[in-house]
Amino acid sequence: DIQMTQSPSSLSASVGDRVTITCRASQPISNFLSWFQQKPGEAPTLLIHSTSTLHSGVPSRFSGSGSRTDFTLTINGLQPEDLGTYYCQQNYRTPPVFGQGTHLEIK
Amino acid sequence: QVQLVQSGAEVKKPGASVRVSCKTSGYTFTDQEIHWVRQATGQGLEWMGWMNPDSGDTGYAEKFQGRVTMTRSTSVSTAYMELRSLRSDDTAVYYCVRDVPKYCSRGRCTRAYDYWGQGALVTVSS
């Protein structure tokens, strides 16, 4: 199976900050990567698919980049409602493994 | 609008089985795959398997082979996930998700879980 490793596992940032979360795949996955946000007590929601395409309705402060094994989720201008846990997922090969998650706190 | 509405919380004893339903609306049920993902309390997301609602074809994570069955009823646009021989570590929230193709090139498509059910808590306890 392809392993997905996220870093950091948790972070704390202030409103307005630029936040970066990274995701590394154990083997090349081209651009077959999604990012999800999960707010406390809710189901996850899709933020970005295909590495860099924003899902409908997702604010433009979110962006994704990367290729092959190294990927990044960036939040430009952190907002209070962005608190939660962020997951990457590869869909290059079955099983479509998730990263372990990055817990984001607002200072 | 697309919706996936799951059945309610369940409490089961070890060794029992549970079936979670996922009623879909707002799109053609047989057009898109349904996947199942679970999440133990305070833990990450774990993929369980997929089902093609048109053909009924399925694929399961190795961890759940022999214990899980994913089925559907096209007449009511509903997917089902049954997990047998429950153990305490099966206590989790179970999500159904719609999996759609996005960008296709040379016979392969990137994909995305664009809609999620609200989740169904299954508690396994004696």
Least Cα separation, residue A55 to chain B (angstroms): 8
What percent of chain B has a predicted confidence (pLDDT) above 90?
97
Residues B44-71 have a mean pLDDT of 98
What is the token pair recorded at A85?
């846990």
**Confidence at residue B34, expressed as pLDDT on a 0 to 100 scale:** 98
Q: What is the pLDDT of residues B93-117, one digit of tens each?
A: 999 999 999 989 998 999 999 999 9
Q: Verify whether the Cβ–Cβ distance B45 to A101 is below 8 Å.
A: yes
Q: What is the pLDDT of residues B29-42, one digit of tens each?
A: 999 999 999 999 99
**Confidence at residue A12, expressed as pLDDT on a 0 to 100 scale:** 97
Least Cα separation, residue B41 to chain A (angstroms): 10
What is the token pair recorded at A29?
């996955």
* 3-state DSSP assignment of residue B16: coil
- pLDDT tier at B55, thresholds 50, 70, 90: very high
DSSP per position, chain A: ---EEEE-SEEEE-TT-EEEEEEEESS--TT-EEEEEE-TTS--EEEEETTTEEPTT--TTEEEEEETTEEEEEEES--GGG-EEEEEEE-SSSS-PBP--EEEEE-
Assess A5–B contact: CB distance below 8 Å, yes or no. Answer: no
Q: Which residue of A has its CA nearest to B63?
A: A95
- Using an 8 Å CB-CB cutoff, list residues of chain B that contact chain A: 35, 37, 44-47, 50, 59, 61-62, 95, 102-103, 110-114, 116-119
**Confidence at residue B15, expressed as pLDDT on a 0 to 100 scale:** 98
Q: What is the pLDDT of residues B60-74, one digit of tens each?
A: 999 999 999 999 999
**Confidence at residue A23, expressed as pLDDT on a 0 to 100 scale:** 98
Cα–Cα distance list, B34 to B53, B70, B126 (Å): 7, 9, 31
**Confidence at residue B77, expressed as pLDDT on a 0 to 100 scale:** 98
Q: What is the pLDDT of residues A30-86, one digit of tens each?
A: 999 999 999 999 999 999 999 999 999 999 999 999 999 999 999 999 999 999 999
Q: Which residue of B has its CA nearest to A57?
A: B114
**B-proximal residues of A, 31-90, CB under 8 Å:** 31-32, 34, 36, 43-46, 49-50, 53, 55, 87, 89
Looking at the DSSP bridge assignments, the partners of residue B123 are B11
